[in-house]
Structure 1
Amino acid sequence: MSSRTSVHTPAIQSNSGTNPFSTPLRHSRAPSVSDQSASGRGVSYGPPPDVNGSQQPRRRFKSARLVPGEYDEKPWALSKHPKLKWEKTIFYGSVVLGVAIGAFICYRAFASVTNHSYCLILEDDFSTINKDVWQYEIQRGGFGSGTFEWTTDDPKNAYTDADGLHIVPTLTTESTDITRDQLIDNYVLNLTTDGTCTTKGIDNCSIRSNKTAGTIVNPVRSARLSTKGKKTITFGKVEVVAKMPQGDWLWPAIWMMPENDTYGEWPRSGEIDIAESRGNAGDNYTSGGRDSIISALHWGPLPEVDGFYKTSGQHQVRRTDYTEAFHTFGVEWSEDYLFTYIDSRLLQVFFLKFNKLMWNRGGFSEKLVNDSALYNPWANTGRSNTPFDQPFYLILNVAVGGTNGFFNEGIGNKPWGNESPTAPKEFFDSMTNWLPTWGEGDKRGLTVKSVKMWSQGAC
């Protein structure tokens, strides 16, 4: 009988205890560097877990340079440095001192502001045009500035309503029976014969249109009101609440002239421009259109040496203009100073202190006109504010165009030349360009809500 050797193979224990051939579960463990796969998945480099699989807390770093023992963190913070107290004292003391000095300077500035007493001599809200206060200045000669309008007392050019006084320019062919052909040729306008001209001089009161010569009847009519002979001040204040007109080559003005030419013809006796503007859009007239207000004093022994450029100012606004809302345009004038402002005394357009003779301020003794030395018309007064030491009256008007340089050559597609003998016709010939820019109705006019005039001193 043959014998066979028997081999005993132990059974593979399953974790489940049911299937001896099932794949045993793998023990989970923390990934190591060698476990990083080619796929680029990151590896955790945190502290390894303990035998129970829980995460061990990170061990606090200790420098090997320190001798084992107890150490205080920031030992210098345990006691304050003696200089620290003085540093705080100096700092806070400087702050207090600075505030005190600033307050003192502000107080001195406030205390130095002159506050005169005033007497109200005119307050008009224009429920009507009061003939006891205002007079119409009617002529067609350009008032020395070569402007193109014919000023009238026509209700179409000056009227009042709930908004106040409106001074509105109109086309002559629209507001009269003068035809376009008559405007250009063979028509005689004679304001003296009509009995309406308020000034003297043939050219100021009459004209004959002539196609050959290029002379035309004034293509635009407007109005000019003043308080001449009725309300004047020598030192005081004026405030006019108004809204400016829109339209190319419109020239609104709020200004003052001397009641008497005490020192001679313009500009010897002076002129005070409270607020002037141009109706041109600001983006088309970069030197200042209806987004700009100009104030100035005119003075000098002759027109050729008018010193206005030394006593003038301009204020421009952004993203709006002076046709959008009413503003207060004012002047404060005393024996010692004169300044103009918009809405409040804080927004001054220009300020002048009468601290030296106007003759010296203009440097007129150093100038020649036609190779001749200039005559000083103010030499006998001895006052530094001459010629601005006499009664002045107020004027409100809207002019159109002009040849005196207020509208600069070559700006805003200006259609005429200042030296051209046919400037009014050149202006009229370009009507298709400028008329569409004029607003409708009273938008093309100066609207005045109120006027106040004060004389310096008690009533």
Structure 2
Amino acid sequence: MSHARQATASSTATETPARSLTPEDDVIQPALRPGANPFATPYGSSSASRNASSTALHLMDQPRYFHSRRVKKGSIERPWMDKKDPKEKWVTIIPLIGIFAGLALSGVLIWDGLRSVVNHNYCQVLNEDFSNGLNSKIWTKEVEVGGYGNGQFEMTTNTDENAFVQDGMLYIKPTLQDASLIEKNNVINLLGNGCTSTIASDCIAGTNLTNGTIVNPVKSARLNTKLGATIKFGRVEVTAQLPAGDWLWPAIWMLPRDNKYGDWPRSGEIDIMESRGNNWTYGQGGNNIVSSTLHWGPNAANDAWWRNNVKRKALHTTYAAGFHTFGLEWSEKYIFTYIDTRLLQVMYTHFNEPFFKYGQFPLSDSNGTRLEDPWSYTGRDSTPFDQDFYLILNVAVGSTNGWFKDGASGKPWLDGSATAPRDFWDARNQWYPTWQKGGEMRIKSVKMWQQQGYNGC
């Protein structure tokens, strides 16, 4: 058997001379022959007993290993380079269009914002930093118990308990009413005793233990510049820190000096800033949110404040955590409010149509009386906001007009209840502790400017 294999191998070696392999050959290792020793060395033995034919057989049995070869540049065909997909270019074009469109839109928005901020020339009317105390020629402390038409719970006083200057700042601080005025029948009569309202009901309040009515359960302050500083078109900036405390209602706002077009709201109202002292968890927005709006209408039942009421939320903080500048810019063409910078606008209203049309009032009121436009005779789109207004700073407490929503966030009274002030007073152990730290509005400065061309400026 072995001789036959040797003869065959010798014959094969004679017929087909073996040649050495080069790296250029495509070499594939052959499978082992049946019976071959897989552990045998791939290289031949140096024994002298091996003859030439066994040497040739060994070369044929030697494993043939794969040898890589370097691919020369351009030697591989790339048919996809010869024929391009015409849609392929849109993979680049579409994102570029999106980028340019975004840049263009951003530019338009910036331009529109800058366009709306006109640089008027002004005369300064008031620059109050309270370094010399409270100037009585400028500021009036209002004294009344009427709740200013909103059913507020505070009576406003002219004492230093509720409005005072300390460390170069004006403090407006609400405090509890004297318990003795609530625990037994009493009357507060401010007529002829400093009441600043001309309405009798704003000057008289009483406690009646039988029917559950009480005098105002809280004292606070409201100050105005009616005597000392008014403007017709111009700017206002008040730098203040808002109060923290449940059911507090701080406000920076303006009313007309002369009610040229009639009683409220016919002559208008400008709310630069209103907020609530409740914390950020309060459902309607606490001291982390402020709002601005205008009030106007042919009568009290038709007030169009909802047409331009805008809220602004503080970013990662509250307006009670530090000082902010609450501003107003007002011209014959527009009016807007802002916070800290004129570019951070809150409410913006163009005077580009009559306010009676802008208010979207019904044809008649609830009793069928036709509503007439009280401002049309002026021919100005800015009416009723084209007269002198004065500034008001105050911290109100509670109300029965809906500013605090019934049945929400633990509100301890109902607006429609005849005993709402009493219910509020009875819950004082809940809300009064929240006033103890930061329950006052602090005002660093108040500035007012008159636009040139008006009021002798």
Which TM-score applies when normalising by structure 2? Answer: 0.78
1:435 equivalent in structure 2: 432
- For 1:164 and 1:142, how far apart are their aligned partners in 2? 26
Within the candidate set 368, 372, 380, 2:365 is matched to 368
Aligned counterpart for 1:310 among listed residues 281, 303, 307: 307
Shift of 1:317: 2.6
In structure 2, give the amino acid aligned to 1:456: Q
* 2:150 counterpart of 1:153: no
Aligned counterpart in structure 2 of residue 382 of structure 1, from 371, 374, 379: 379
The counterpart of 2:76, out of the listed 41, 61, 73, is 73
1:407-418 to structure 2, matched below 5 A, reads 407-418=404-415
- Residue type of the alignment partner of 2:190: L
**Larger CA deviation: 444-453 vs 69-78:** 69-78
Residues 1:184 and 1:70: Cα distance change in structure 2 (over 3 Å): closer
Q: Identify if the C-alpha distance between structure 1 residues 99 and 403 changes in structure 2 by more than 3 Å, giving closer, same or farther.
A: closer
- For residues 57 and 238 of structure 1, the distance between their equivalents in structure 2, rounded to whole angstroms, comes to 91
What RMSD, in angstroms, separates the aligned Cα atoms of the two structures? 3.5
The answer to whether the 8 Å contact 2:354/2:376 transfers is no
- Aligned counterpart in structure 2 of residue 446 of structure 1, from 430, 441, 444: 441
2:139/2:225 contact within 8 Å kept: yes
1:275 corresponds to 2:286 = no
Specify the alignment match of 2:204 in structure 1.
206
Q: Which residue in the other structure is 2:118 paired with?
A: 114
8 Å CA contact 2:129, 2:168 repeated in 1: no
Where does the alignment leave 5 or more consecutive residues of structure 1 unmatched? 1-32, 35-47, 64-68, 174-179
Shift of 1:136: 0.8
Counterpart AA for 1:270: G
Question: What displacement does 1:202 show?
Answer: 2.8
Task: Judge conservation of contact 1:185–1:216 (CA < 8 Å) in 2.
Answer: no
Amino acid at match of 1:451: V
Are the structure 2 counterparts of residues 390 and 62 from structure 1 closer, same or farther at C-alpha, using a change threshold of 3 Å? same
Q: Which amino acid aligns with 2:211?
A: A
Q: Per the alignment, do residues 75 and 240 of structure 1 end up closer, same or farther by CA in structure 2, a change over 3 Å counting?
A: same
Asked if the contact 1:146–1:404 (Cα under 8 Å) also holds between the matched residues in 2, the reply is: yes
Identity %: 44
Structure 1: how far apart are the matches of 2:396 and 2:308?
23
Distance in structure 2 (CA, Å) of the matches to 1:90 and 1:212: 82
1:185: Cα distance to partner?
2.4
| Residue 394 of structure 2, aligned match among 383, 394, 397 | 397
- In 2, Cα distance between equivalents of 1:292 and 1:258: 26
- Give per-residue Cα distances to partners, 1:251-305, cap 9 Å, x unaligned: 100000000111111111000000010011121x212111110111011011111
Kept in 1: contact 2:137–2:227 (CA 8 A): no
Answer whether contact 2:117 2:342 (CA < 8 A) is retained.
Answer: no
Residues in 2 aligned to 1:188 and 1:97: alpha-carbon distance in whole angstroms = 72
C-alpha distance after superposition, 1:363-402 (max 9, x if no partner): 2253423121112211211111111111000000001111
CA pair 345-196 structure 1, distance change in 2 beyond 3 A: same
Pick aligned residue for 2:322 from 314, 321, 325:
325
- For residues 246 and 78 of structure 1, the distance between their equivalents in structure 2, rounded to whole angstroms, comes to 71
**Corresponding residue for 1:341?**
338
Q: Deviations over 1:75-128 (max 9, x none)?
A: 6799999x9xx9999899979986996697478534564221122111111121
Corresponding residue SS for 2:377: coil
The alignment of Structure 1 onto Structure 2 pairs a total of residues equal to 395
Q: 1:15 — aligned with what?
A: none
Equivalent-residue separation in structure 1 for 2:431 and 2:95 (angstroms): 64
Q: C-alpha distance in 1, partners of 2:280/2:99? A: 47
- The separation in 2 between residues aligned to 1:437 and 1:93, in whole angstroms, is 55
SS in 2 for 1:143: helix
Give the aligned residue type for 1:116.
H
Q: 1:60 aligns with which of 68, 88, 107?
A: 68
Q: Distance in 2 between matches of 1:299 and 1:200?
A: 22
| The one of 247, 253, 276 aligned to 2:251 | 253
* Residue pair 1:184, 1:215 contacting (<8 A) in 2 also: no
- CA offsets per residue over residues 54-85 of structure 1, 9 Å max, x none? xx98633899xxxxx9962356799999x9xx
Q: For 2:105 and 2:181, how far apart are their aligned partners in 1?
A: 70
Higher alpha-carbon deviation: 285-294 or 317-326: 317-326
Among 127, 143, 147, the alignment partner of 1:123 is: 127
2:217 alignment counterpart: 219
Letter in 1 for 2:452: G
Mapped to 2, the partners of 1:433 and 1:136 lie a distance apart of 29
Which residue in 2 is equivalent to 1:288?
285
Q: 1:393-433 deviations in whole A, cap 9, x for unaligned?
A: 00000011111111111222111121222211111011111
Greater mean alpha carbon deviation, residues 369-378 or residues 264-273: 369-378
Match of 2:174 in 1: 169
Determine whether 1:298 maps to 2:295: yes
Between the aligned partners of 1:156 and 1:96, the Cα distance in structure 2 is 60
Aligned residues of 2:240 and 2:444 also touching (Cα < 8 A): yes
2:183 paired residue number? 184
Say whether residues 1:239 and 2:237 are aligned partners. yes
Task: Please report how far the alpha carbon of residue 457 of structure 1 lies from its aligned counterpart in structure 2 after TM superposition.
Answer: 1.5
What is the TM-score normalised by the length of structure 1?
0.77
Query: Are the equivalent residues in 2 in contact too, given 1:163–1:447 (CA < 8 A)?
Result: no
